[in-house]
Amino acid sequence: MATEVLMPRQGQSVESCIILEWRVKEGDKVNEGDAICEVETDKATFEVEATATGTILGIFYPDGEDVEVLKVIAAIGEEGENIDDLRPADNDSSAEQEDTSATDVVETAQADTSITAPTIQAKTDGIGASPRAKTLANAKGISLNAISGTGPEGRVIERDVQNALVSGAPLTPAAQALMANGNLNAPAVGSGLAGRVLASDLSTASPSDAQISVPTLADIDVPVKGVRKLIAERMKASLSQTAQLTLNASADARQILAYRKECKNSAEALALSGITINDIVMYATVQTLKRYPELNAHFLGDTIRQFGAINLGFAVDTPKGLLVPNIKNAQAMSLKELSMAAKSLATSAIDGSIEPDALSGGTFTITNLGSMGIESFTPVLNAPEVAILGVCTITPRPVMNGSDVEFVPHMGLSLTFDHAAADGAPAGRFLKDVVDSLAHFNLTLAG
Amino acid sequence: MPKSQNVCPKEAFKPSKIKFKDIPVNQYKSDIKAEIKAHGKDGLKKMLYDMMIIREFETMLNSIKVQGSYQGMEYNHPGPAHLSIGQEAAAVGQAAALGVEDFIFGSHRSHGEILAKTFSAINQLNDDELNNIMTSFMDGNILNVVKDGDSKDVKDLAENFILYGTLAEIFARQNGINKGLGGSMHAFFIPFGSMPNNALVGGSADISVGSALYKRINKKPGIVIGNIGDASMGCGPVWEGLMFAAMDQYRTLWNNDLGGSPPVMINVFNNHYGMGGQTQGETMGYDMLARIGAGVNPEQMHAERVNGYNPLAVADATNRKKEILLSGKGPVFMDTVTYRISGHSPSDASSYRTKEEIEAWEKADCIASYKKYLIDNDIITDAEIEDMQTKVIGKITTAMKLAIDEDISKYSDPKLIADLMFSNQKVEKFDNREPEVLLPMEENPRVKQLKRKERFGFDAKGKAISKNKVYQYRDAIFEAMMHRFYTDPTMIAYGEENRDWGGAFACYRGLTESIPYHRLFNSPISEGAIVGTAVGYALSGGRAVVELMYCDFMGRAGDEIFNQMSKWQSMSAGILKMPLTLRVSVGNKYGAQHSQDWSAMVAHIPGLKVYYPATPYDAKGMLNAALAGTDPVVFFESQKTYDFSEQFEKGGVPEGYYEIEEGQPIVRKEGSDITILTLGPVLYSGMQAAEELAQKGLSAEVIDLRFVNPLNYDIIVESVKKTGKVILVSDACERGSALHNIANNITTLAFDYLDAPPVVIGAKNEISPAAEMEKDYFPQVSWIIDAIHERILPIEGHQVSHNYTRGELSRLYRAGI
Ligand SMILES: Cc1ncc(C[n+]2csc(CCOP(=O)(O)OP(=O)(O)O)c2C)c(N)n1
Ligand SMILES: [Mg+2]
């Protein structure tokens, strides 16, 4: 079985790279790790290494070609091996063109291939969205960024938002059909499995639409590829190759809320007003993590590498999907520095300008679903890291105060760790210490 | 040519000579006894007084313009002041011969004429009449300012009323005789026979002919004088007015009872100059202006040159001409020689004339010489003249004091104007007399014929009814005209080939049988005068419907449409109404000068209503509305639709009377995906486009605009909110199309609902080619779909035939096509 060489993804915003020069030709022998070609993005030039030792069986794109990332650019194996399976579709003139239609949705019902007339192609260099599309997206609470436009010159128009509503949301097919047909609203989270929105979750937008018949709509297959494929593989690998489990706890949030408020109202010159609850949690976590090197580590099978520095990863929801940039040497930072570093990384992650470096080398990750009202969850490890801390929403909890019950705001915390790398006791202690450092944040700040 | 008059080759080719009669030049001979007999000694003195009033009034304005003050009162008047110092005798002599019921129209230089005519009328009216006029005019506002002064009697008060009201008008005050909305060049006062003055050189010529038509047709007393300048003889509309005034038909074909030709005198205050161009000797070739009359008709328009520096010579001539006019033998052409000592305007440096020339005319000054004449003939004494001068200065000073006092004379409120742009009234008839018709309506042959027509375009099975059996758009025009002809006795209709021919497109066929000549007639090919006379007719109090055979001829009537028809209601502060409907037929198939939809041109002009019906039902209902209103309506009709049957209103076109509500577009077909707005005949392409879109899975809503102005956007906005997409289509060239304005307003009113910018398509910005190639010029059904595909909503599988990409549009814009 030959090994493929992929056009690497140099940072999340990079969609394609230009092959500057092949250093090898078909038939050459290479060792794993040898540089086989030089490629370039608009920001940098770098080398692509051989992914296996063997013979270059195929080079699929010539010098100067602009190739989408994650495409197979070469195959390495033993002489005589068949590499047709690895050959990218657009590389073979006899093969069918890859489907690039608007939403990557292939309707199975649309079997008619006899249409020769031009099809409407979504363009990535769209010219924004129409006011109507924006209004609709707002009303339905979906992000325009994720939608490709099929209007003139790629403008996102009403029908694109409608399509996205039908195909994008976590709706069951029955719910999708109803949405497409009627004047209905879907809740953000449904009552189905994993929050899927069921037909019964849909609410009528106007009382006049009393009659809803269930129309039949074609089933749809969404191909798994690109970023989705990458995430899928990573997640499955994480779950299958680690022994992860989650501990839940909650921290008295009164001090951090008060502190946050104080920061927010502070004099402009102090530049503290931008400090968020998440920054505070990150800071408290870093301070605690300093005492738990076993959790600031990578599980590498034969070894567990405990890191001297804390490179704190944090999950950012971007138009391209989930990204986890990390703050290098967070252990050396004040709260203010940490906050600023987090903000600048998040901004560049969202606008796509983030450096690839910032996306690798993390040692511990924090993921925050608090803003979505999540009370507890099981974060999936960012393997090979051995722990990830999930930050949940703040809810009032009853606390005994003498004989009275007092409701005190508490922040939920969910720590997933790899039991292969660490035991429950230190993980539990770590979580408790994080809880304490938040509850007594004033003391935590003292260092 | 009517069949009653034969055109005979024998006559046409017979050898003979055209003989001209002598045209009198300055033939007046002074005879003091005769003058005393004609005017009385007081009348002769009164003329001097009126001249002195004008002289002082103009001197006051000159002093304000040049020195910023008069009699120690400082004032800045930023607006115009075309003064007539030197021309007083001409204005006063003319007015002395006129009754209150006689009308004079004038020019930019008409302060003197306003004062002369109103003072003459004041002299003729009794106290009750004067009091009535003054108390009722503008709720007595002007009277209230002057009544507490030291007027010695009602006439004196009335003079102060006019002096103050006119000056307040010039100074843009609410108490002006036109509420300050007309100003120096447009002021007038109808109760005393002073009709609108006109800032367009020669503008009053054809308008005064129309006013005389009004008097003739509606049997109103008096004559009409159009006072114009010598330089205006170069203006086309003036010549058109002469042709119109001199038509043979008034005396050959019109009912004799009416009294013959319209009683109109075109009088030229010949002061030898335009602004700086010298007419006799430089910019004209007539040698003596009176000569022009000789070219117009066998009577040579009774042309005469009179000495405009002698009020008695002018009065004598005017008197004689008035008799001719009243006996129906007009029109009359007068060359009243005068000279303006003042500059054209205060900024005039008189670089075009010598000091000596001015001094020579000052020496001959009309006031000084008339004073001498009265003294020499023992009519007046120096002392009396001195008293007179004191009184005159006192009056002018008081008028100015009142007019510039901002507590007494508030500036006109520009907010008033919005409500004055249209009068928006419904008037069944402008007179109660029986309308003159030749037949009972039921006996009219076309009415009988229409009884047999199917009034809806399809039979019960949905099959189209043949053209011969179906009621058409042109029939709808006919029915609306008939209704109003039989209702409003003042209504007249004319234009080119309007009578026996029935209008070039047979809309009027059958009217000839019912309507007497004076109410429906052929005009000369004078588009300017067709509209201009209609303006004069309408503002005098009658309803006029005139026609332009092709929209492309609108340019010929540019001033009349853009400045006259549109402006007089508001410039008169609502005193005038303009019940004038201008039917404009939009052509095709006849090439570049006969195929243009110019709705945009009139849409741009404030004060015009613009209708464009596309169906027989609307043609009748909208023309009915126009003919019941009091506003100027430009009524477009497409020649593409004249033979169309009613295809939308299932009940067909009603036989009875109904009106379409003004400004309301109509949804022709409901839809949910895209709105197609059409104007005029493209409605039918829009409907077809909707059908084709339906085949592509798109549901189009088609809205027929029907009106360009006023326009109610509610229905449109509602539709666009629903569909988010809108394309606007008309046959007009795309650049500057009125639809761009509408598109822009839609964007303003419904921006957040739009899924794409509204798209306007129209004919190419090129000449319209021959009939065979029109498909490549006017917007086609396929263009509509192409533009939707390219600019609004890409349609799966659509192949374009017409390029609406941005690149192509930019290229066209850049190339100016
Ligand atoms: C149609 C038109 N063209 C030009 C002008 C500018 N203009 C105002 S008065 C004038 C001269 C008019 O001369 P004439 O008709 O002899 O009248 P006068 O000023 O001598 O009284 C001109 C050219 C105008 N007002 N209207
Ligand atoms: Mg002149």
- Burial (CB < 10 A; 0-12, 13-18, 19+), residue B800, is middle
Helical (H) or strand (E) element with B700: strand B700-704
Do residues B341 and B227 share a domain?
Answer: yes
In a shared domain, residues B377 and B457: no
Distance CA A196, CA A191 (A): 6
Measured CA to CA, the distance from residue B655 to residue B626 in angstroms comes to 18
- Cβ atoms within 10 Å of B325's Cβ, excluding its own: 27
B270 Cα: distance to centroid of ligand 2 (angstroms): 6
- In chain B, % helix, strand, coil (3-state, to 5) comes to 45, 15, 40
Number of residue pairs across A and B with CB atoms under 8 Å?
50
Distance CA B690, CA A143 (A): 33
| Residues B611 and B673 grouped into a single domain | no
Cα B792 → chain centroid? 43
CATH number at residue B500: 3.40.50.970
Lookup result for tokens 């099809």: A119
Question: Nearest Cβ partner of B796 from A119, A135, A153?
Answer: A119
Claim to verify: residue B611 and residue B715 sit in the same structural domain: no
At A203, the pLDDT band (50, 70, 90 cuts) reads: low
User: For the purposes of burial, counting CB atoms within 10 Å of the CB of A33, is it exposed (0-12), middle (13-18) or buried (19 or more)?
Assistant: exposed
Give the position of tokens 């090129």.
B766
Q: Which of A132, A135, A162, A181 is the best substitution to test chain B (most B C-beta atoms within 10 A)?
A: A132
pLDDT-based confidence at residue B224 (cuts at 50, 70, 90): very high
What does the pLDDT look like over A251-298, one tens digit per residue?
Answer: 999 999 999 988 988 888 888 888 999 999 999 999 999 999 999 999
Do residue B793 and residue A153 have CB atoms under 8 angstroms apart? no
Say yes or no for a CB contact (<8 Å) between B724 and A115: no
pLDDT band at residue A109 under the 50/70/90 scheme: very low
- Nearest partner of B205 among B531, B517, B518, B551, judged by Cα: B531
Q: Which residues of B touch A118 (CB under 8 A)?
A: 797-799
Reduce the DSSP state of residue B529 to 3 states and report it. Answer: helix
Mean pLDDT of B104-132: 98
- On the question of pLDDT at B733 being above 70, the answer is yes
Chain B residues inside the 8 Å CB shell of A133 = 755
Six-digit token string for B345: 């305007």
Per-residue pLDDT averaged across B556-582, rounded? 98
Q: Give domain limits for chain A.
A: 3-111, 131-211, 226-446
Q: Of B623, B638, B653, at which residue does a domain stop?
A: B638
Q: Taking a C-beta distance cutoff of 8 angstroms, is the pair A227, A368 a contact?
A: no
pLDDT, greater one: B193 or A98 = B193
Residues of chain B neighbouring A135 (CB-CB closer than 8 A): 752-753
Cβ pair B756, B793 in contact under 8 A:
yes
Residue B727: give its domain's CATH number: 3.40.50.920
**Position B285 in a domain:** yes
Task: Kindly list the distances between the CA atom of residue B690 and the CA atoms of B103, B345, B616, B734, B746, in Å, as whole numbers in the listed order.
Answer: 57, 60, 21, 21, 21
Mark out the alpha helices in B470-567 (DSSP H runs). Answer: 473-485, 511-514, 527-540, 558-559
Inspect the interface and report whether the beta carbons of A152 and B792 lie closer than 8 Å.
Answer: yes
Instruction: Clarify whether residues B396 and B446 are in a common domain.
Output: no
To the nearest whole Å, the CA of A208 is away from the closest chain B CA by 17
Pull the structure tokens for residue B157. Answer: 């008060």
* Residue B774 contacts residue B768 (beta carbons within 8 Å): yes
B228 Cα to the center of ligand 1, angstroms: 9
3-state secondary structure A91-123: HCCCCCCCCCCCCCCEECCCCCCCCCCCCCCCE
Please give the Cα distance from B340 to B271 (Å, whole number). 6
CA of residue B559 to ligand 1 center, whole Å: 14
Q: Answer yes or no: are the C-beta atoms of B166 and B119 closer than 8 Å.
A: no
Atom of ligand 1 nearest to the CA of B340: 20
Tell me, yes or no, whether B307 lies in a domain. Answer: yes
What is the three-class DSSP state of B462? Answer: coil
Rounded Cα distance, A328 and A268, in Å: 27
Number of C-beta neighbours around residue A4 at 10 A: 21
Going by C-alpha positions, the residue among A432, A420, A425, A309 that lies closest to residue A364 is A309
Which residue of chain A is at minimal alpha-carbon distance from B753? A132
C-alpha–C-alpha distance, residues B462 and B284, integer Å = 66
CB-based contacts of A440, cutoff 8 Å, min separation 6: A255
Q: Which of A38-47, B314-323, B388-397 has the lowest mean pLDDT?
A: A38-47
Q: Is the pLDDT of residue B402 over 90?
A: yes
- Mean pLDDT across A328-351: 91
| Contact call for B752 and A159, based on CB within 8 A | no
Would you place residue A105 in the very low, low, confident or very high pLDDT band (cuts 50, 70, 90)?
Answer: very low
- Using 50, 70 and 90 to split pLDDT, how confident is the model at A111? very low
Looking at per-residue pLDDT, the higher value among A112 and A252 belongs to A252
Asked if residue B223 lies in contact with residue B322, where contact means CB atoms within 8 angstroms, the answer is yes
Residues of A in contact with B808 (CB under 8 A): none
User: How close A395 gets to chain B, by Cα (Å)?
Assistant: 38
Q: What is the DSSP letter of B487?
A: T
Q: In Å, how far is A90's CA from the nearest CA of chain B? A: 24
Would residue B192 count as lying in a domain?
no
- Is B151 a domain residue? no
Cα-atom radius of gyration of chain A, to the nearest Å? 25
pLDDT digits (tens, 9 = 90+) for B471-530: 999 999 999 999 999 999 999 999 999 999 999 999 999 999 999 999 999 999 999 999
pLDDT of residue A175 exceeding 70:
no
Is residue B739 within 8 Å of residue B732, measured between CB atoms? Answer: yes
Q: Assign domain A226-446 to its CATH architecture.
A: 2-Layer Sandwich (3.30)
What is the model's pLDDT at position A301? 85
Query: Are B796 and A153 in contact (CB < 8 Å)?
Result: no
Determine which helix (DSSP H) or strand (DSSP E) holds B749, and give its type and residue range: helix B738-750
The model's pTM: 0.72
Provide the 3-class DSSP secondary structure of residue A443.
helix
pLDDT at B82 over 80: yes
Q: Which of A115, A134, A152 sits opposite B797 (nearest CB)?
A: A115
Report which of A98, A15, A21, A86 is spatially closest to residue A57, judged by C-alpha positions: A86
Residue after which a domain boundary falls, among B619, B638, B657: B638
Residues at CB less than 6 angstroms from ligand 1: B 107-109, 199-201, 229-232, 271, 273-275, 344
Domain contains B166: no
- Do residues B592 and B735 share a domain? no
Written as six digits, the tokens of B640 are 């593409």
Q: What is the pLDDT of residue B609?
A: 98
Residues B694 and B547 in one domain: no
pLDDT digits (tens, 9 = 90+) for B643-702: 999 999 999 999 999 999 999 999 999 999 999 999 999 999 999 999 999 999 999 999
Name, in order, each residue with C-beta under 8 angstroms of B453's C-beta and a sequence gap of 6 or more.
B469, B470, B471, B475
DSSP A287-349: HHHTT-GGGSEEE-SS-EEE-SS--EEE-EEETTEEE--EETTGGG--HHHHHHHHHHHHHHH
Centre of ligand 2 to C-alpha B60, Å, is 22
**Top CATH class, A3-111:** mainly beta
Query: Is B594 annotated as catalytic?
Result: yes
Regarding predicted confidence, which is higher, B719 or A242?
B719
Same domain, B329 and B404: yes
> B300 in a domain, yes or no?
yes
Nearest chain B residue (CA) to A150: B794
Chain A hits for B724, CB-CB cut-off 8 Å, are: 130, 132, 158
The answer to the question of residue B418 being in a domain is no
Closest CA of chain B from A65, distance in Å: 28
**Measured distance CA(A44)–CA(A10) in Å, rounded:** 9
Tell whether the model's pLDDT for residue A196 goes beyond 70.
no
Span A70-78, average pLDDT: 90
Neighbour count for residue B349 (Cβ, 10 Å): 7
Virtual torsion, Cα A35, A39, A45, A50, nearest 10 deg: -20
Q: Which of A390, A392, A425 is nearest to A294 (CA)?
A: A425
B223 and B77 share one domain? yes
φ and ψ at residue B448, rounded to 5 degrees: -65, -40
Evaluate whether A266 touches A273 at the Cβ level (below 8 Å): yes
Number of domains into which chain B is organized: 3
* Interface contact A135-B754, CB threshold 8 A: no
CB contact under 8 A, A120 and B794: yes
Residue from B83, B84, B105, B108 to probe ligand 1 pocket by mutation (most atoms less than 8 Å from CB):
B108
Using CA coordinates, name the residue in chain B closest to A136.
Answer: B753
| A135: closest CA of chain B, how far (Å) | 7
Q: Please tell me the predicted confidence (pLDDT) of residue A96.
A: 39
Residue B280: inside a domain, yes or no?
yes
pLDDT tier for residue A348 given thresholds of 50, 70 and 90: confident
Nearest to A69 by CA among A92, A94, A32, A42: A42
Residues that place a CB less than 5 A from ion ligand 2: B 229-231, 271, 273
Q: What is the residue range of B46's domain?
A: 36-102+200-408
Q: Based on the fold, state whether residues B302 and B399 are members of the same structural domain.
A: yes
* Interchain contact, B799 vs A118, CB within 8 Å: yes
Determine contact, residues A76/A30, Cβ cutoff 8 Å: yes
| DSSP state letter for B411 | B
Task: Kindly list the strands in the beta sheet with A45-49, ordered across the sheet, starting from the edge strand earlier in the chain.
Answer: A45-49, A35-40, A16-22, A66-68
- Rounded percentage of chain A residues whose pLDDT exceeds 90: 37
In single-letter form, the type of residue at position A122 comes to A
Q: How many CB atoms lie within 10 A of CB A404?
A: 8
The ligand minimizing its distance to the Cα of B85 is: 1
Choosing from B393, B408, B423, the residue where a domain stops is B408
User: Closest ligand 1 atom, CA of B274?
Assistant: 13
**Residue A117, Cβ density class (10 Å: 0-12 exposed, 13-18 middle, ≥19 buried):** exposed
